[in-house]
Amino acid sequence: MEHVVAIWKDEKNGLGIIEVKDQVFGSSFHPVCYQKESEGKYSIINGLWYTTYHGARQYFRAKTNPYSGYGRMRKIQ
């Protein structure tokens, strides 16, 4: 992964969004799932990316989505 600029996590720290520097768009936002056994390790959900934070946040609000964020996303970096 390229340079991570910011990280947001939900209140249970299971799901989140990362902002990554992107040469085409300037920044891209990826919905991620954090691995419980390893601190700070994550995987991008389905290889998805969005051009805005709100686009990535809407992914967790979709009713057809198996991933559902818990509470507010808090910026940690």
Q: What is the pLDDT of residues 30-68, one digit of tens each?
A: 999 988 766 778 899 999 999 999 999 988 888 888 887
CA gap 33, 52 in Å, rounded: 18
CA-to-CA dists, residue 38 to 41, 48, 51, 59, 64, angstroms: 6, 22, 28, 24, 28
Q: What is the dihedral of CA 52, 26, 34, 16, to 10 degrees?
A: -20
pLDDT band at 20 (very low <50, low <70, confident <90, very high): very high
pTM for this one? 0.84
Query: Residue 38: what pLDDT?
Result: 63
Question: Domain for residue 74, yes or no?
Answer: no
Question: Domain for residue 72, yes or no?
Answer: no
Average pLDDT over every residue of 9-19 = 87
Q: Does 28 have pLDDT greater than 70?
A: yes
Number of domains in the chain: 1
Task: List the beta bridge partners of residue 4.
Answer: 20
Question: Domain for residue 75, yes or no?
Answer: no
CA-to-CA dists, residue 66 to 35, 46, 61, angstroms: 16, 12, 10
Average pLDDT over every residue of 2-9 = 88
Q: What is the domain extent for residue 42?
A: 4-64
